[in-house]
Amino acid sequence: LWDVETLKSLHVFNGHTDGVWCVDISQLQGNNNNDNNKMNNIGVIGGNGYTICSGSLDKTIRIWDIETTKQLNIFNGHYYFVYSVKYGSNELLSTILSGSFDKSVRLWDIRSGQQIQIFNGHKYYVYAVEYSPFMIKNSSGNSNVICSGSWDNTIRDEREDDGIFCLKFVGSKTKNDLNLCYGSRKGPIRIWG
């Protein structure tokens, strides 16, 4: 973990047995204190409210407390490199989404350490995962939407073999809509929406 102002290393997180390909920092958790109507900061499982998750070539996802650098959890299940991890938000705050060279996207429960769901729709490596800010209403209630980008062009731009490497939803400053930005191995960043 680096301080971007001083360019100095703040913490080192040791534990993976192979290279780390991706990291994500948790959102700060809030808890209403009804006694004095103040907001207290709490972490999903970390001391100061923030944790880091990392995905590695060792096929694992690990969660670390940012303050103490203590490893809090290890998620096993992918059978090939983990190339993308993302903490959940809103109703999925206690989840992590992961994408792997094993062509799967997996949803994990942070608190139990268990895998919740596997998505096996890709034909090639999964390089990017992202939670959509949209909610879908269905007969069983609300459901979050997840997105994943793969070498198989899951997000089409009418060219073959582009491979999607990065996904991000961004709001438009001039409109009340949301766009999906993505990058591919062909080079340019594209905005869809």
Domains and CATH numbers, the chain: 2-192 (2.130.10.10)
Per-residue pLDDT band for 4 (boundaries 50, 70, 90) equals confident
The b/e string for 15-27 (b: 16+ C-beta within 10 A; e otherwise) is: ebeeeebbebebb
Which residues 6+ apart lie within 8 Å of 5 measured at CB?
none
- Residue 34 has a pLDDT of 40
**Residue 82 above 90 pLDDT?**
yes
Burial of residue 61, with CB atoms counted within 10 A of its CB: 0-12 exposed, 13-18 middle, 19 or more buried: buried
For residue 71, the SS3 value is: strand
- Residue 49 has a pLDDT of 66
Tell me the range of 104-108, 149-153, 169-173, 188-192 where mean pLDDT is highest. Answer: 104-108
- List of E strands, the chain: 2-3, 8-9, 20-25, 29-33, 38-42, 51-56, 60-65, 71-76, 82-87, 95-100, 105-109, 115-119, 126-138, 141-150, 164-171, 178-184, 189-192
- Residue 188 has a pLDDT of 59
Give the pLDDT mean for 109-122.
86
**Residue 62 above 70 pLDDT?**
yes
| Cα three-residue angle 22-93-69, rounded to 5 degrees | 50
> What count of Cα atoms within 13 Å lies in the side-chain half-sphere of residue 27?
14
**Residue 176 above 50 pLDDT?**
yes
- List of E strands, 43-120: 51-56, 60-65, 71-76, 82-87, 95-100, 105-109, 115-119
Which residues 6+ apart lie within 8 Å of 188 measured at CB?
none
- Residue 177 has a pLDDT of 56
Mean per-residue pLDDT of the chain:
72
**How far, in Å, CA of 191 to CA of 146, rounded?**
18
For residue 94, the SS3 value is: coil
- 14-18, 37-41, 81-85, 131-135: the lowest-pLDDT one: 37-41
